[in-house]
């Protein structure tokens, strides 16, 4: 089980790094439309054509699946260790809500990832659903896919609201991953806790606000 | 003061348990919580009813025998104390107090509020000891130990094995207990000889006993009467990785 926990921590940290790159790229969407379209499309074309990114993408898919699967197995084991709940339990007095509900938060994020992949990955990479057009430079118009999706207020709301469980999950996950992997320097852990908070806020606000800005563009 | 106790009653491991209500008068604020339970038991004896089974020994917070879930918290409403250190002045006249046994698969209920914590003993048996020559005690200062290390070992050694960490953990993880025992001995020169074996065998036993995994909610260190830091678990994890790579 310790091996599984370590793998959850390692894949989690990898996903944390991935999110930084993802959010940075999303910031292109904040530029004026004529610049943003070109920059976003050529960026995504570069990614699709890079064999290095191809390897990273496979590591990413495996990370998400393994992270979720091992977390599920560990949660089942943990439930077996405490099948009978207390009649009265004031656990909020000794621990944060998010730390006790990583499974629920993770499940919400997983549902989001599936919908998100259906919206983008399936259309752009697999060619499923409505065909993706080309821009003036002959690149797949990924900007248009994004822009048109965020003209739908329900998708904007969904993407924005899901950033809350994302931030909560990242905050606890980042803090815990280092402890799981055996980092036990007291001051270092205090610094990591602060970094985790700042990181979670930036990710939550960043991913949450961009769909709104695109909607209002 | 008058208190309504709602107490878990269970005849044996095989019987089904349930909460039973007791209205108790004549309690004073100076009473310890365990004295209040004693008082209730005296009343039950007078009424020819079965007394409530609960564990205790020293009643001064050092033995680790007492331990029940009181009003939704391990060892009651305060952080970092044992059940015997809780006094009735922490409650108000007319309050209702819910008392339950520790709940974990690895701590089966024996009777009422008494649970079987021998899983802890079996973890201890796997390596929470050192091998040393018997005979004349060696000179105390023969092995120099830096103050910072002896302090850390002492902090971990403070664990009294009460089980509050397991009781409060949503996963019933015994990581805080096991890490305290491992770090206590592994950080001292006397414990070095069996360092890797200790880590491997104690953590193996911890998992074999059916305790859950630590997910760092932090509840354990809040309820631990000895304020054992959760950083001990991170340190144990480092030792597990090290012993997996280097150990026999």
Largest Cα separation within chain A, whole Å, is 65
Residue A183 contacts B where some CB pair is shorter than 8 Å: yes
Segments in chain B forming alpha helices (H) = 33-46, 118-125, 147-157, 164-168, 175-186, 195-208, 219-223, 231-246
- Same-domain check for residues B74 and B129: no
B178 and B233 Cβ atoms separated by less than 8 Å: no
Within-domain flag for B45: yes
Q: Distance from A24 to chain B by nearest Cα, in Å?
A: 30
**pLDDT band, residue A216 (cuts 50/70/90):** very high
C-alpha distance from residue B165 to each of A192, A211, B103, B119, B233 (Å)? 24, 43, 11, 14, 12
Within-domain flag for B133: yes
User: CA–CA separation, B228 vs B157, rounded Å?
Assistant: 9
Flag if A175 and B216 touch (Cβ within 8 Å).
yes
Within-domain flag for B151: yes
3-class DSSP state of B14 = coil
Domain boundary among B66, B100, B134: B100
Treating both helix axes as pointing N-terminal to C-terminal, what angle do B118-125 and B195-208 enclose, rounded to 10 degrees?
150
pLDDT of residue B28: 97
**pLDDT band, residue B197 (cuts 50/70/90):** very high
- Same-domain check for residues B50 and B171: no
Asked if residue A217 has pLDDT above 90, the reply is no
User: CA–CA separation, A174 vs A12, rounded Å?
Assistant: 8
Domain that residue A70 falls in: 2-80+98-216
Residue A10: CATH number of its domain: 1.20.1300.10
* Chain B residues within an 8 Å CB radius of A80: 105, 210, 212
Dihedral, B6, B31, B220, B198 alpha carbons, nearest 10: -120
Flag if B233 and A102 touch (Cβ within 8 Å).
no
A148-171 residue pLDDT tens: 999 999 999 999 999 999 999 999
3-class DSSP state of A203 = helix
Tally the C-alpha atoms within 13 A of residue A88's C-alpha that lie toward its C-beta.
19
Asked if residue A127 has pLDDT above 90, the reply is no
Within-domain flag for A149: yes
pLDDT of residue A129: 82
B72-129 residue pLDDT tens: 999 999 999 999 999 999 999 999 999 999 999 999 999 999 999 999 999 999 999 9
* Chain A residues within an 8 Å CB radius of B240: 2, 182
Nearest to B100 among A86, A90, A95 (CB): A86
ipTM above 0.90, yes or no: yes
* Structure letter (DSSP) for residue B28: -
Residue B233 contacts A where some CB pair is shorter than 8 Å: yes
**pLDDT band, residue B66 (cuts 50/70/90):** very high
- Same-domain check for residues B58 and B176: no
A59-115 residue pLDDT tens: 999 999 999 999 999 999 999 999 999 999 999 999 999 999 999 999 999 999 999
Residue range A175-186: average pLDDT? 96
Instruction: Let me know how many helices (H) and strands (E) chain A has, helices first.
Output: 9, 0
Flag if B172 and A178 touch (Cβ within 8 Å).
no
C-alpha distance from residue A100 to each of A21, A78, B83, B119 (Å)? 28, 12, 25, 25
Within-domain flag for A89: no
Residue range A106-135: average pLDDT? 92
**pLDDT band, residue A132 (cuts 50/70/90):** confident
Question: Higher-confidence residue: B138 or B146?
Answer: B146
**pLDDT band, residue B131 (cuts 50/70/90):** confident
C-alpha distance from residue A114 to each of A9, A13, A106, B33, B202 (Å)? 21, 20, 12, 53, 41
Within-domain flag for B109: no
Nearest to B219 among A6, A94, A184 (CB): A94
HEC letters along B119-157: HHHHHHHCCCCCCCCCCCCCCCCCCCCCHHHHHHHHHHH
* Chain B residues within an 8 Å CB radius of A179: 216, 230-231, 233-234, 237
Question: Nearest-CA neighbor of A16 among A208, A195, A215?
Answer: A195
- Total number of domains constituting chain A: 1
- Same-domain check for residues B40 and B145: no
Nearest to B73 among A90, A180, A182 (CB): A90
Within-domain flag for A123: yes
Residue B195 contacts A where some CB pair is shorter than 8 Å: no
Domain that residue B61 falls in: 3-100
- Same-domain check for residues B124 and B200: yes
- Same-domain check for residues B69 and B142: no
Residue A88 contacts B where some CB pair is shorter than 8 Å: yes
- Same-domain check for residues B125 and B164: yes
Within-domain flag for B150: yes
Nearest to B73 among A93, A172, A186 (CB): A93
Residue B8: CATH number of its domain: 3.10.20.30
User: CA–CA separation, A195 vs A3, rounded Å?
Assistant: 26
pLDDT of residue A130: 82
3-class DSSP state of B33 = helix
Flag if A82 and B223 touch (Cβ within 8 Å).
no
Sheet holding B73-74, edge to edge: B18-24, B3-9, B96-100, B69-70, B73-74
**pLDDT band, residue B179 (cuts 50/70/90):** very high
User: CA–CA separation, A189 vs A212, rounded Å?
Assistant: 35
Q: Distance from A65 to chain B by nearest Cα, in Å?
A: 19
Q: Distance from A109 to chain B by nearest Cα, in Å?
A: 18
Asked if residue B247 has pLDDT above 80, the reply is no
C-alpha distance from residue B41 to each of B2, B35, B38, B46, B59 (Å)? 15, 10, 5, 9, 17
Lowest mean pLDDT among A116-130, B23-37, B148-162: A116-130
Contacts of residue B129, defined as CB under 8 A and 6 or more positions apart, other chains included, come to B185
Q: Distance from B237 to chain A by nearest Cα, in Å?
A: 5
Residue A182 contacts B where some CB pair is shorter than 8 Å: yes
Dihedral, A91, A97, A101, A107 alpha carbons, nearest 10: 160
Lowest mean pLDDT among A172-176, B173-177, B244-248: B244-248
User: CA–CA separation, B223 vs B156, rounded Å?
Assistant: 15
- Same-domain check for residues B95 and B34: yes
pLDDT of residue B233: 98
Flag if B235 and A100 touch (Cβ within 8 Å).
no
- Same-domain check for residues B156 and B49: no
pLDDT of residue B244: 85
- Total number of domains constituting chain B: 2
pLDDT of residue B245: 83
Q: Distance from A191 to chain B by nearest Cα, in Å?
A: 14
- Same-domain check for residues B126 and B183: yes
Within-domain flag for A135: yes
Question: Nearest-CA neighbor of B203 among B225, B185, B219, B181?
Answer: B181
Asked if residue B248 has pLDDT above 60, the reply is no
- Same-domain check for residues B163 and B242: yes
Residue B182: CATH number of its domain: 1.10.1060.10
- Same-domain check for residues B123 and B235: yes
User: CA–CA separation, A197 vs B246, rounded Å?
Assistant: 35
Treating both helix axes as pointing N-terminal to C-terminal, what angle do A51-81 and A102-119 enclose, rounded to 10 degrees?
150
Residue range A14-29: average pLDDT? 97
């Amino acid at each position: 089980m310790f091996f599984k926990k370590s793998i959850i921590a390692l894949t989690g940290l990898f996903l944390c790094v991935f999110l930084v790159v993802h959010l940075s790229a999303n910031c292109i969407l904040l530029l004026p439309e004529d610049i943003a379209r070109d920059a976003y499309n050529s960026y995504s074309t570069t990614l699709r054509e890079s064999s290095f990114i191809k390897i990273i993408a496979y590591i990413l898919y495996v990370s998400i699946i393994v992270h979720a699967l091992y977390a599920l197995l560990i949660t089942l084991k943990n439930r077996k260790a405490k099948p009978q709940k207390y009649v009265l339990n004031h656990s909020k007095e000794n621990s944060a809500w998010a730390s006790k509900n990583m499974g629920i938060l993770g499940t919400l994020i997983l549902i989001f990832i599936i919908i998100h992949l259906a919206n983008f990955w399936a259309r752009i990479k697999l060619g499923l659903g409505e065909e993706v057009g080309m821009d003036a430079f002959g690149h797949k118009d990924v900007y248009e896919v994004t822009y048109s999706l965020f003209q739908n207020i329900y998708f904007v709301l969904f993407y924005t609201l899901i950033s809350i469980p994302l931030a909560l999950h990242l905050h606890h996950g980042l803090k815990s991953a280092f402890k799981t992997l055996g980092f036990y320097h007291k001051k270092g852990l205090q610094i990591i806790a602060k970094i985790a908070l700042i990181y979670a806020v930036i990710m939550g606000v960043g991913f949450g606000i961009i769909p709104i800005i695109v909607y209002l563009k | 003061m008058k208190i309504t106790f709602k107490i878990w009653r269970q005849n044996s491991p095989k019987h089904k348990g349930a909460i039973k209500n007791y209205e108790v008068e004549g309690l004073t604020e100076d009473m310890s919580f365990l004295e209040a339970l004693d008082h209730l038991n005296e009343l039950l004896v007078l009424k020819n009813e079965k007394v409530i089974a609960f564990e205790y020994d020293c009643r001064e917070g050092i033995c680790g025998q007492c331990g029940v879930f009181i009003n939704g918290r391990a060892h009651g409403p305060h952080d970092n104390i044992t059940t015997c250190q809780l006094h009735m002045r922490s409650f108000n006249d007319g309050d209702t107090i819910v008392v339950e046994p520790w709940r974990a698969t690895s701590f089966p209920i024996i009777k009422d509020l008494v649970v079987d914590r021998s899983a802890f003993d079996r973890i201890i048996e796997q390596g929470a000891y050192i091998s040393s020559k018997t005979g004349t005690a060696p000179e105390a200062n023969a092995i120099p130990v830096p103050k910072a290390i002896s302090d850390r070992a002492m902090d971990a050694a403070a664990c009294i094995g009460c089980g509050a960490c397991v009781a409060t953990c949503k996963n019933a993880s015994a990581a805080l207990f096991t890490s305290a025992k491992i770090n206590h001995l592994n950080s001292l020169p006397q414990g070095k000889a069996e360092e890797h074996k200790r880590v491997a065998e104690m953590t193996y036993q911890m998992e074999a006993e059916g305790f859950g995994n630590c997910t760092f909610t932090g509840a354990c260190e809040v309820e631990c009467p000895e304020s054992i830091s959760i950083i001990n678990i991170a340190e144990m994890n480092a030792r597990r990785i090290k012993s997996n790579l280097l150990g026999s």
